[in-house]
A and B are shown apart, each in its own frame.
Chain A
């Protein structure tokens, strides 16, 4: 039986003599692996970071002061090196090596990147906006801490309107963060889940 199987297999090898692989066409095309897709998105983000954040840093430096400009530029530099690190990790991935080990490593880096994204979204768009908008509303509603004569309130809201505004301050950032969370999951999360499945199957 064993010999038969090997014989059949050999016949198949012989039958493939007319098979064609168009090398020029193949190497001219983009890879369709999950890693290649993630790398493509990371590269887009890398260039957006290179173009937009330094421009913002200059703007903040001029309009809001040195501190804001320097802080933004530092954030740009951190992300600049982080993107390079991630892209290089994917580039170093080699199918002729220990795929399970290197894929697990890349998966962990990307999972952390996704986690960082989610933390930034919820902290940046919910906690910070709640804090800033809430504080702004408090100052406008009460007139306190504004150096105005007799703490004159700036908003003329009825109590109901004030509750609506507070409600909006609470709900809108949460909805916005949820939307961004969903987008990030769509862009990275699903691909990283696929990567996890591959790693699990290789195990």
Chain B
């Protein structure tokens, strides 16, 4: 009941972000905001990696996607306004970069090597297999549908999904159900 009265972590980060940019955005350099940006990327790296991994076809492409997302986050961070939550903004930028980048490449998808990179910190083979199967299924969806399913799996509310994708909440409901069914079918068929 009182949840809405408590400032969320995102609002706090947004305020800090604005404060740092205001005091440090001078021609002499962006030391404080540089540090803040690095911390911000560190906090959001899992989101960035997971979205990029759902769109990239191989580890090399994944690296390119992550790099491009970082560049675009860096370039647009000054345009960030408090109208949306910081996490919403990260999702929007990352998804939009992936949606606009992936069109130029249509190589064979290599899900296994995507997950066998050194940063994947788990020794549980079953877990690895489950994650690989999930990504494989996600990759069989259309690119726009992948965006919906990624947000759904990240436990985002319909309202947040609507805000990130720029569609109506009703539309989100219908699409989430359809995409969930598709994902279920793909996993069932063992593809």
A binding-site residues for B, Cβ under 8 Å = 1-2, 5-6, 8-9, 11-21, 23, 25-27, 29, 31-34, 94-96, 98-99, 103, 194, 197-198, 201-202
Interface of A is mostly: helix
Please tell me which one of the listed residues A13, A14, A15, A99 contacts residue B100 in the complex, with CB atoms under 8 A apart.
A99
Given A95-B76, A95-B92, A198-B103: A8 in contact with B134 (beta carbons within 8 A) = yes
* Closest beta carbon of chain B to A186's beta carbon, Å: 16
Number of interface residues of B (CB under 8 A): 50
When distances are taken between beta carbons in the complex, the residues of chain A under 8 Å from B92 are 95-96
**Chain B 132-175, CB within 8 Å of chain A: the 1/0 string?**
00100000000110000000011100000000001000000000
Residue numbers of B with Cβ under 8 A of A are 37-38, 41-42, 45-46, 48-50, 64, 66-68, 70-72, 74-76, 79-80, 89, 92-93, 96-97, 99-101, 103-104, 118-122, 127, 130-131, 134, 143-144, 153-155, 166, 180, 183-184, 187
A96→B88 CA distance, assembly (Å): 9
* Nearest CB in chain A: distance from B23 CB, A: 20
Q: Which secondary structure characterizes the binding site on chain B? A: helix
Decide if A8 touches B101 in the complex (CB within 8 Å): no
The answer to whether A26 touches B70 (Cβ under 8 A) is yes
CA distance A8 to B183 in the complex (A): 14
Bound complex: CA A29 to CA B49 (Å): 19
Name the B residues within 8 Å of A18 (CB-CB). 118-121
